[in-house]
Structure 1
Amino acid sequence: MRFYSTNSKQSFVPFREAVFASLPKDKGLYMPESIPTLDEEFIKNIDQYSFSEIAFKVAENIIGDDIPSADLKRIIDETVNFDAPLVALKDGSYILELFQGPSLAFKDFGARFMSRVMAYFSEKSNQTLDVLVATSGDTGGAVALGFTGVPNTRVTILFPKGKVSPIQELQLCTNDSNIHALEIDGTFDDCQALVKKAFNDDDLNEKLNLTSANSINISRLIPQTFYYFYAYSQLVKQGIKDVVFSVPSGNFGNLTAGLFAVRMGLPVKHFIAATNANDVVPRFLSGEAYETRTAIATLSNAMDVGNPSNWDRIMDLFNQDISALKKQLTADTYSDKQTTAAIEEVYYKDQYIVCPHTAIAWLAGQAYRSKNPGDYALVALSTAHPCKFPDVFPKGIGENIKVPESVNELRKREQKKQLLSTSYTEFKNYLLNYPA
């Protein structure tokens, strides 16, 4: 499979180069030259396959022969070694639990797959690979665990000061010596801007072998398609074949992966982009100009993105045709007050605790159903374990969250982080003079 830049469809690179370069030199984003459709028999009989079998089939379809089948299967088996179950609520909707992995967030799928793909391609090289990642909460923890102990890799995680939860910060700052945490005195957008600037710095790239672990990296998106197919297979086992996915959206990588899945043949009735107060996309789809803004801090902090990178991929996927896009996607935005109310409503109706991001997805799904009644499954993606946001939950709910033992183990470790400003010069100097 070859990949092109969203800023230029005239030149192509192989999968390996797209993975390690992360960003094309023209500052676009890598996209697959084509997205092959899976055979109809596979989709028809998808309920007969395991999660890892589905993931392998999907990965093989889009990666092609860039990774031999035996090696790809090994990578998949190491990536998809935990479940992503559908949980039915009393209102007839479903929660897709994507937080069963080691970092308790959906980012585990992308981070684990990407780390193993990079390790596969670089196993014969002795050059240190510098992985940069900006995080608004969950990405950094997943990447840290995905790359911990991987030979010849050094990971630098940038997170906004005071804008991640205590547990998220523990996951970022208590890792092995090849993982470095930088607390940036700014927003997630500032963190993301520093990473992007580093990739476009020719001088820095001559001295360091840089790559990104954010969803700007195509290898992060591919494994996120897996669980859309798996969710559908679980529904088919119940005799359900029409589905609407409500997706918590910040940088829009998760939603992009879902749209990739549709291009591969997954029958999805509709997608909903569920956002918090950072509503760039909902405003755009309602007819306003596409205008990025400074990120606003909310209870759903992993979605606090004012300049969503992957939106360029979505627009490219639809050839800039807004009318075609709107047929497949709607978007909605919710306040912190509405988020808290949704958490309470789900808990008191179902005795089920949703994180603030999941609550927003559930809200958007309920709003869509009220306007579009019909016989279909409404699936809200649950992107993080609720224990990661202890200060969000109203009295009477938070204390009922079951905290995994892995979190208690984190509290015993020493935290290591360094505070930096939003100055690119300061960040570059740090990269060029890594602490021992």
Structure 2
Amino acid sequence: MSEPLHYRSTRGARHAAGIEQVIAAGLAPDGGLYVPEALPSLDPSLFDPNGSLADTASTLLEPFFRGSPMAGELPAICREAFDFDVPLRPLSFRNDASVLELFHGPSAAFKDIGARFLAACFRRLRRDAAAPLTIVVATSGDTGAAVAAAFHRQPGIRVVVLYPDGRVSPRQAHQLGCFGDNVQALRVAGTFDDCQRMAKAVLNDTELQSHVPLSSANSISLGRLLPQMSYYAHAALGWWHRHHRPLNFIVPTGNLGNALACVWVREMGLPVGEIHLACNANATLSDYFDGAPYSPRPAVATLANAMDVGAPSNFERLRWTFPRDHELRLQLHASSVDDDVIGDTIARHARDHGELFCPHTATAMHVLDGMSDTDLAWAVVATAHPSKFDSVVEPLIGRTILVPPALQAMLQRPAHAEPMPASDEALKHWLAYQTA
């Protein structure tokens, strides 16, 4: 049997951790992001060609949990988390392209997959502390609702969701505030980058942690990132078995967690081909991959609000994977899409093809539209149901979008969010007061 994997910080700390510690902590003690000491390699033949997404996930993630007390429960964790479809649906108007639909979970966004896996892991983590564990999550729109849904009413856990006030869609804001019980939403007077900075600040505050145990459920948490690899592996392996060639992906991205999951699947030896990042007007990544120095900047508000990130956290993990700029730029392509193009893409595909896309998925569809038919097979990653963005999509298409039942149930609940300044100290004081 192979040796268990250990995990270290992207910032080089020598401290090595096991997977339980990594999941429980979220962030490394030095402020870096946890990564495995090395990515494992897997042969496609190890996977059941007729297996479910849960089966694929269990095989894919086994090396990451090897030697852990949770290893024996990994199949059950995967069955709990991955109990809805993630279909690869062919596009009727292109022979070389499909849509990977990741929005069939409870909150109608791809974040459900990682959040539900993380919650299933936390149900199995042993904690001796009497105080509840507070999971602090910064969201640009979709993460918060997925985490809230996954952890709602889970004993010993409370969830604090930070979102940028006025920079999420009305339905996203309602989702974030509709849970109550052990979930509290804070509407921050700032940007997502402010929310992310505040979350990292409290997670790194050892004095606060001594009496308010904290963890994270953002994609800075490896417990969120690892399960997101599963749908790329499942789609790519299914395509490989049917067509005997790799599947290539166009991934809408903001904080880089979803895209990094795809990159790691390819690095582990599974049949993923080219990876193209689709960004909105926040062009930090597209500028970098065009050859400019990596330069984080303040986020700007766009129609694809869940990707409004100017300083993507997971760039640290991407640089760990490919330490040299020239090597990293060979691995990925990136494009930036502005609001006018997003709106035109949504309207045109609804009119010409009867296809409905959320603004984030529309960035990826625009990238596909610019590609001529080739021998490559492309999967556009659809990250959220368009009904979550009715205020954007419906005026463009001239009709009402049917709301999925789980989302409709959330929208019928009352919602509340407390105001919060964009201040690290304000959040620290709020957390300390809530626990006092």
Q: TM-score, normalised by structure 2?
A: 0.94
Q: Deviations over 1:361-395 (max 9, x none)?
A: 1112333x33xx63121111000000000111254
Which one of 348, 351, 355 corresponds to residue 352 of structure 1?
355
Could you tell me which residue of structure 1 aligns to residue 397 of structure 2? Answer: 397
Which one of 184, 187, 191 corresponds to residue 187 of structure 1?
191
Could you tell me which residue of structure 2 aligns to residue 86 of structure 1? Answer: 88
Could you tell me which residue of structure 1 aligns to residue 162 of structure 2? Answer: 158
Q: Distance in 2 between matches of 1:244 and 1:161?
A: 36
2:67 is the alignment partner of 1:65: yes
1:386 partner amino acid: P
1:350 partner amino acid: H
1:52 partner amino acid: A
> How far apart are residue 69 of structure 1 and its match?
4.3
Q: Deviations over 1:264-315 (max 9, x none)?
A: 2212221111100101011111121211111100000000001100011001
Q: Distance in 2 between matches of 1:97 and 1:398?
A: 23
Q: Distance in 2 between matches of 1:390 and 1:382?
A: 16
Q: What is the CA RMSD across the aligned residues, in angstroms?
A: 1.8
Q: Distance in 1 between matches of 2:309 and 2:62?
A: 32
Aligned residues of 2:394 and 2:401 also touching (Cα < 8 A): no
Q: Pick closer, same or farther for the CA change 1:17–1:346 going to 2, 3 Å.
A: same
Could you tell me which residue of structure 2 aligns to residue 338 of structure 1? Answer: 341
2:75 partner amino acid: K
In structure 1, the gaps of 5 or more residues are none
Could you tell me which residue of structure 1 aligns to residue 387 of structure 2? Answer: 387
Q: Deviations over 1:223-279 (max 9, x none)?
A: 000000111233235425222111101000001111111122212221111100101
Could you tell me which residue of structure 2 aligns to residue 325 of structure 1? Answer: 328
1:354 partner amino acid: F
Which one of 73, 76, 79 corresponds to residue 78 of structure 2?
76
Which one of 284, 296, 315 corresponds to residue 300 of structure 2?
296
Could you tell me which residue of structure 1 aligns to residue 410 of structure 2? Answer: 410
1:26-65 maps to which residues of 2 (within 5 A)? 26-42=30-46, 46-65=48-67
Could you tell me which residue of structure 2 aligns to residue 16 of structure 1? Answer: 20
2:217 is the alignment partner of 1:213: yes
1:159 partner amino acid: Y
Aligned residues of 1:155 and 1:180 also touching (Cα < 8 A): yes
Q: Distance in 2 between matches of 1:213 and 1:10?
A: 24
Q: Deviations over 1:138-182 (max 9, x none)?
A: 000000001011110011000000111111112110114100000
Aligned residues of 1:167 and 1:407 also touching (Cα < 8 A): no
2:70 is the alignment partner of 1:96: no
> How far apart are residue 202 of structure 1 and its match?
2.1
Q: Distance in 2 between matches of 1:347 and 1:237?
A: 32
Q: Deviations over 1:106-125 (max 9, x none)?
A: 00011001111122113665
Could you tell me which residue of structure 2 aligns to residue 120 of structure 1? Answer: 124
2:220 partner amino acid: I
Could you tell me which residue of structure 2 aligns to residue 365 of structure 1? Answer: 368
**Structure 2 counterpart SS, 1:270:** strand
Q: Distance in 2 between matches of 1:32 and 1:196?
A: 20
**Structure 1 counterpart SS, 2:67:** helix
Aligned residues of 2:163 and 2:188 also touching (Cα < 8 A): yes
**Structure 1 counterpart SS, 2:275:** strand
2:144 is the alignment partner of 1:140: yes
Aligned residues of 1:340 and 1:394 also touching (Cα < 8 A): no
> How far apart are residue 435 of structure 1 and its match?
8.0
Aligned residues of 1:269 and 1:328 also touching (Cα < 8 A): no
Q: Distance in 1 between matches of 2:253 and 2:366?
A: 13
Q: Distance in 2 between matches of 1:7 and 1:158?
A: 25
> How far apart are residue 67 of structure 1 and its match?
4.0
Q: TM-score, normalised by structure 1?
A: 0.94
Q: Distance in 1 between matches of 2:241 and 2:399?
A: 35
**Structure 1 counterpart SS, 2:378:** strand
In structure 2, the gaps of 5 or more residues are none
Aligned residues of 2:346 and 2:356 also touching (Cα < 8 A): yes
Q: Distance in 2 between matches of 1:273 and 1:147?
A: 30
**Quick one: percent identity of the two aligned structures?**
37
